[in-house]
Amino acid sequence: MNTEQLILVGGGGHCKSVIDVVEASSRFSIAGIVDTPEKVGTTQSGYPVIATDGDLATLARQYRYFLVTVGQIRSSTLRTRLYHLIKSLGGSLPTLISPTAYVSQRALIGEGTVIHHQAFVNAGAQIGVNCIINTASLIEHDARIGDHCHVSTAAVINGDGVVGDHCFVGSRAVVSHGVHVAPNGILGAGAVLLTPTEEGGLYAGNPAVLKKRVS
């Protein structure tokens, strides 16, 4: 079966997990990885690091498909910058879904978003662009995830919950039914958010409360 070639932008730990999804899905073959200058010539999970960010314009003339595979711990700044750079160069960012995930045919998934193994995206859910929906996370019916978000391992966004743009939802965190997370919000691991947030910042605990405002 013929597959499209794909460039991965970012060669760290998150890249490893995306590689596993790429290999499982069989839609793309990985042509190479973009990383820092000192990593060029090395490999990640058997795939060559072939270029740096400064080479993306050249790569965009050779390849169509790119994915941002830099991780997102709290801040989305780097992933967002790379997404817009790839778009400005004419690159396409596919949606990638693990074959072990469940995504309802009535859900909407934005470009550049990766749905990892065992994740569950229910009917009516909407997920924005360039998101990480990580292993075993649950996005319930009619929930909305904004652009450039990371929903971490085993986190739960309950029905009608809303996660604003540029948010990080930590492992096993829970957003209760109908609760809104303001843009640039960070939910710590295991946080249980019972009421809407009005500003970006770090929220932690059960029930989750604001611990630190975004500077």
Q: Are 78 and 96 in contact (CB under 8 A)?
A: no
Which pLDDT score is estimated for 67? 98
CA 192 to chain centre: 21
Which pLDDT score is estimated for 126? 98
pTM above the 0.85 mark?
A: yes
Secondary structure class of 42 (helix, strand, coil): coil
pLDDT in tens, 48-107: 999 999 999 999 999 999 999 999 988 999 999 999 999 999 999 999 999 999 999 999
Which pLDDT score is estimated for 213? 86
Which pLDDT score is estimated for 142? 98
Which pLDDT score is estimated for 2? 65
Q: Please give the CATH number for the structural domain made up of 4-88.
A: 3.40.50.20
Query: Nearest to residue 49, comparing CAs of 38, 58, 40, 61?
Result: 40
Tokens of 107: 């859900």
CATH number of 96-206, picked from 1.10.260.40, 2.40.50.140, 2.160.10.10, 3.30.590.10:
2.160.10.10
How far is Cα 26 from Cα 117, in angstroms, rounded to an integer? 14
How far is Cα 198 from Cα 148, in angstroms, rounded to an integer? 19
Which pLDDT score is estimated for 215? 59
**In one letter, which amino acid is 4?**
E
Tokens of 181: 């997370």
Regions of the chain short of the pLDDT cut 70: 1-2, 215
Domain ranges of the chain: 4-88, 96-206
Please name the helix (run of DSSP H) or strand (run of DSSP E) that holds residue 19, with its range, or none.
Answer: helix 13-25
